[in-house]
Amino acid sequence: MNQPKIKRRVGKYEVGRTIGEGTFAKVKFARNSETGEPVALKILDKEKVLKHKMAEQIKREIATMKLIKHPNVVRLHEVMGSKAKIFIVLEFVTGGEMFDKIVNHGRMMENEARRYFQQLINAVDYCHSRGVYHRDLKPENLLLDAYGNLKVSDFGLSAVSQQVRDDGLFHTTCGTPNYVAPEVLNDRGYDGATADLWSCGVILFVLLAGYLPFDDSNLMNLYKKISAAEFTSPPWLSFSAMKLITQILDPNPMTRITIPEILQDEWFKKGYKPPKFEEKDNTNLDDVESVFKDSEVHHVMEKREEEQPTTMNAFELISMSKGLNLGNLFDAEQGFKRETRFTSKYPADEIIHKIEAAAKPLGFNVQKKNYKMRLENTKAGRKGNLNVATEIFQVAPSLHMVELRKAKGDTLEFHKFYKNLSTCLEDVVWKTEEDMEETK
Cα(356)–Cα(414) distance, integer angstroms: 16
Question: To the nearest 10°, the Cα dihedral for 111, 116, 122, 126?
Answer: 180
Cα(183)–Cα(177) distance, integer angstroms: 12
Cα(358)–Cα(363) distance, integer angstroms: 10
Question: To the nearest 10°, the Cα dihedral for 391, 310, 13, 24?
Answer: -20
Is 46 flagged in the annotation as binding?
no
Determine contact, residues 197/259, Cβ cutoff 8 Å: yes
Helices (H), 228-336: 239-248, 259-263, 266-269, 286-290, 314-319
136 an active-site residue?
Answer: yes
Classify 295 as helix, strand or coil: coil
Cα(383)–Cα(381) distance, integer angstroms: 6
Determine contact, residues 418/390, Cβ cutoff 8 Å: no
Q: With residue 87 as reference, give the H or E element that holds it.
A: strand 85-91
| CB neighbours of residue 402 within 10 Å | 25
Cα(352)–Cα(358) distance, integer angstroms: 10
Cα(114)–Cα(147) distance, integer angstroms: 17
Q: With residue 206 as reference, give the H or E element that holds it.
A: helix 192-209
How far from 299 is each of 78, 81, 86, 288, 373, CA to CA, in Å? 14, 5, 10, 12, 30
Q: What share of the chain is helix, strand, coil (3-state, %, to 5)?
A: 35, 25, 40
Phi, psi torsion values for 41, nearest 5 degrees: -110, 110
Residue of 100, 125, 136, 265 marked catalytic: 136
Cα(326)–Cα(348) distance, integer angstroms: 22
Q: With residue 182 as reference, give the H or E element that holds it.
A: helix 182-185
**N-term to C-term CA, the chain:** 33
Cα(83)–Cα(256) distance, integer angstroms: 46
Closest to 335 (Cα-Cα) out of 414, 400, 388:
414
Question: Annotated binding residues for ATP, as ranges?
Answer: 42
Q: What residues are labeled active site?
A: 136
Question: Annotated binding residues, as ranges?
Answer: 42
